[in-house]
Chains A and B, each alone.
Chain A
């Protein structure tokens, strides 16, 4: 395990602010290997922004950048996101 790694809880508040529902229990399907994991269980790295990575193959599932009043989300590594509403 990488010393710099966080888990999905590190971005829980930010995702909840955008999606307005609890997101750590949302289920993401990796576009790289097809594995499914709860958002709270994925690997999170903090660079200039947050990177959520598949715990099985390290594919970047989401990049999340938050600035004053704006949030950018690149979900191109995520095949599906199942959200309970």
Chain B
């Protein structure tokens, strides 16, 4: 499953990052690496973007970005 599939409040561990070049780099710079634990904080009214908590900071990701992050749900 990907980060985009997670419901509000869920926690997951990153397994792999898709994408390439600057897009992938961007995710790494936001602290999203294999092994990182991410939780779903809130979703904007239209469902996109979604706010995630990553390493104690809340960051917003668009659905297409979240869909590139393969995760394993933790709870």
> Is A bound to B?
no
Residue positions of A touching B, CB distance < 8 A: none
Residue positions of B touching A, CB distance < 8 A: none
